[in-house]
Structure 1
Amino acid sequence: MPDSPDLPPRRPGERILGPLGLAAPALSPEDASPHAFPDGGRWRTEIPSVEGPEALDTVLREAERLDVPVHRISQGSGVWMLTDAEIEEMAKAAAESSVELCLFTGPRGTWDIGAATRTDSRGGGLRARGHDAVAGCVEDAVRATSLGVRCLLVADEGVLWTLHRARAAGLLPAETTLKVSALIGPVNPAAYAVHERLGADSVNVPSDLTLDQLTEIRRVSGAPMDMYVEAPDDLGGYVRMYEVAELIRRGAPLYVKFGLSKAPSVYPSGAHLRETVLATARERVRRGRLVLDLLARHGADGAMSPLGSRLPGPLRRFPADA
């Protein structure tokens, strides 16, 4: 049964560990993030790797069946892997459910001809190689926003800055939000602050950051943070479900991402991966239900943003005309 709402959130195992003399050290109020979303909420939810209209419909149906609130749905294969009709269908379905739809811009380096991405160092990773790759990302952004998409996922700092400047100049819709991929996510406070200033509206940090490192970031930036509480294997496969309440306390405003370990990669997606895409989409929602149940049991499920919330609030930027 959930704890009484009048009681402070409890920590995992503390009812048994305390009497045994094994209580955890007291939490420091100084570690808590002072930031929140503009609606007052401290956390939102995200279902990643939703690779097309059928997968989106699967997620929405499963979320309704399991009573999992969803603020954002993101896709990883890229705008260029969807037809106009598919994008319009996804944008319409997401809007009708008051869910933010985020599509990835491309092309990106790991699919490029550059040999460095095939070496042990991975070269520049997902970043856009050369002018043509940046132009392709911009083309994806223009196309997606013209079809009703209002959140774009980026994996290159130059693309981020370019799209932010385009947004500031009125070349993209002003309400467009820009989300930084986990595959280039910053790992220190200085880098996080730079991403905010380059135009990021939410930043997916790697899931292996420690709690203290989240606190360090929150001392310099209030930009929304995204974090897998269960990470895909290619991002480490970390499962941090028992830390969710503390991740929110330290990292707010935080998008809690329900990823899936021990699952095959589906990028770039297509009909040949249909069954895998749909099965993993359903399981990501189920993982979300497990996380929400855990938060409720610990009395830590309050302060969630209202459904339909999407904007990040005022953030600090470099001058866009520079």
Structure 2
Amino acid sequence: MAAPAENPSDASAHRFPDGGSWRTEIPSCEGPEVLAVVLKEAARLDLPVHRISQGSGVWMLTDDEITEMAGACAERDIELCLFTGPRGSWDIGASTRTDSGGSGLRARGHDALAGCVEDALRATALGVRCLLVADEGVLWCLHRLRAQGVLPAETTFKVSALVGPVNPAAYAVHERLGADSVNVPSDLTLAHLTEIRRASAAPMDLYVEAPDDLGGYVRMYEAAELIRRGAPLYLKFGLSKAPGFYPYGAQMRDAMLASARERVRRGRLTLDLLARLGADGGMSPLGSRLPGPLHRFPVTDLPPAGPSVTGPAATDLPVTDLATASPAAVPSPKD
């Protein structure tokens, strides 16, 4: 029985600035040892990797660990993305432990907001150029710091799946607040992706296989259609039926390393499936990382340029002012 023909109007008209329609991401690389395992396994399985991300947060890594991870990724032209924290899942946001989950994943109060900004300043001073964000206020603050020149202009911000938008208007708002890629929930339908793409060209991140605490969805067989409708898209290789690791520590080492290897294998399985379907074309060149031109809310009332991220007083910033000042156009990072 023949499948219905594809509807050309469903396909995304957008691409990465290099012309590619998809890139790859390995998440949950919680330190140099885990990263080394991922890189070794990716080489063994010949898995192309564009981005590697971490979830426990900048504050859970030493300067030496961050420097080692940034160096290892730079040697291979892979983007390293570290999470800003703290956030509700291990802060005072107890509503994350209620049945509904509440709003606990946000950065609560000025201190948590300042902590996220401090993480961003520290990470970029150590060479990291991609930051994960799980709060709209944090995103707006960091975007303003980038516009001011306090954060490097080529720094990119990735919106976490923890707060991923689920409709076109919400997705477009995150883009305008400063997001350079947005992780949507893995339970969105193909039609939902098409709707989002009619409102925004900002790169999309999507777990082809999601961790259990994000639903445990496995959408490998839809990968080709996810790309066709969601491009430009990061295929993110998570792992279901595995423990949660955040915040990661040595007590979880064995399970973490085994999970890291399996995430890479899941990536290889997905790309093999794309090849069998004749849908493996259109990958961005390795080393590509920037999103191209995006739409932003205008940024006005910027304070005078502060110290650089390597300056001794880099954390002495008017965070509250940055968050509450009234929203001149800011160029987005470009390839």
- Flag whether TM exceeds 0.5 (same fold): yes
Which residue identity is paired with 1:261?
Answer: S
CA distance, structure 2, for counterparts of residue 115 and residue 247 of structure 1:
35
Q: Which residue, out of 176, 184, 190, partners 1:211?
A: 190
Which residue identity is paired with 1:64?
Answer: A
Aligned residues: 301
Which residue identity is paired with 1:304?
Answer: M
* 8 Å CA contact 2:203, 2:232 repeated in 1: yes
* 8 Å CA contact 2:88, 2:94 repeated in 1: no
> 1:119: how far off?
1.6
Corresponding residue for 2:207? 228
CA distance, structure 2, for counterparts of residue 275 and residue 115 of structure 1:
29
Corresponding residue for 2:103? 124
SS in 1 for 2:153: coil
CA distance, structure 1, for counterparts of residue 286 and residue 92 of structure 2:
42
Corresponding residue for 1:312? 291
CA distance, structure 2, for counterparts of residue 277 and residue 78 of structure 1:
16
Instruction: Write out per-residue CA displacement over residues 144-194 of structure 1, whole angstroms, 9 at most, x where no aligned residue.
Output: 000000000000000001000100110100000000000100000000000
User: Which stretches of structure 1, 4 residues or longer, exceed 4 Å deviation after superposition?
Assistant: none
Matched, 1:59 2:44: no
Cα RMSD, aligned residues only: 0.7
Corresponding residue for 1:82? 61
> 1:318: how far off?
0.2
Instruction: Write out per-residue CA displacement over residues 43-83 of structure 1, whole angstroms, 9 at most, x where no aligned residue.
Output: 00000000000111111110000000000000000000000
Q: Which residue, out of 120, 123, 126, partners 1:141?
A: 120
Corresponding residue for 1:269? 248
Is there any run of 5+ residues in structure 2 with no aligned partner, and where? 301-326, 328-335
Matched, 1:106 2:85: yes
Matched, 1:295 2:258: no
CA distance, structure 2, for counterparts of residue 113 and residue 106 of structure 1:
13
Corresponding residue for 1:6? none
Corresponding residue for 1:278? 257
Is there any run of 5+ residues in structure 1 with no aligned partner, and where? 1-21
Scaled by the length of structure 2, what TM-score is found? 0.89
Percent of aligned pairs with the same residue? 81
Matched, 1:183 2:156: no
* 8 Å CA contact 2:94, 2:104 repeated in 1: no
Corresponding residue for 1:249? 228
Q: Which residue, out of 158, 173, 193, partners 2:152?
A: 173
Which residue identity is paired with 2:283?
Answer: M
SS in 1 for 2:236: strand
Q: Report the more deviating stretch, 114-123 or 254-263.
A: 114-123
Matched, 1:200 2:182: no
CA distance, structure 1, for counterparts of residue 104 and residue 180 of structure 2:
22
SS in 1 for 2:5: coil
Scaled by the length of structure 1, what TM-score is found? 0.93
CA distance, structure 1, for counterparts of residue 295 and residue 94 of structure 2:
37
Which residue identity is paired with 2:228?
Answer: R
* 8 Å CA contact 1:164, 1:320 repeated in 2: no
